[in-house]
Structure 1
Amino acid sequence: MAVAGTDRPTHGVDVTGDPLERGIASLAAHAEYTKGLGAGAFEPRPFLTWEARQGGPALGVEAAVLFDVHQLAFEGPPPWEQ
């Protein structure tokens, strides 16, 4: 499981250029979802660009998404397979 927005990320992905643009377009296409992200109109471009540029230096790139990776462990089959 990958969790973004942690204090000490363990992994990262370079999203410079087209990947960031596709992410912006994807979030912009989900107006029902973004309605709940704060007062007034939510603008994906400034938010996602700022967030990705914060992570970029950790990977030595312009823009990156940083996250922690956690291994899920189950006794027996995972619940969705039961």
Structure 2
Amino acid sequence: EDLAMWVESIVREGWSGEVLDKSIGGSRGEEGEMLKLLRIGMSCCEWSLENRFGWKEAVAKIEELKEIDHVGVGIQSQDSELSL
């Protein structure tokens, strides 16, 4: 069994905390973002060439995450300004 298969089994079983670096810390939302990034990385390690992400697709997916995160931060800051 290789590392990618082990990580996939851990995530599938809901034990993702075992593969994430706890020293990074963060909130529950940040853990979700780290899991999304982990899944992109796992897609780069797929055995099937048809399912495996190429580097361009991986970069595009990471950029999508950054855009979603940026929009989410904007919404959160607007919400906090409204509550003042």
Task: Note whether the superposition's TM-score is higher than 0.5.
Answer: no
Q: TM-score, normalised by structure 2?
A: 0.35
Structure with more of its chain in helix, by fraction: 2
Structure with more of its chain in strand, by fraction: 1
> Larger relative contact order (C-alpha < 8 A, sep ≥ 6)?
1
Q: TM-score, normalised by structure 1?
A: 0.36
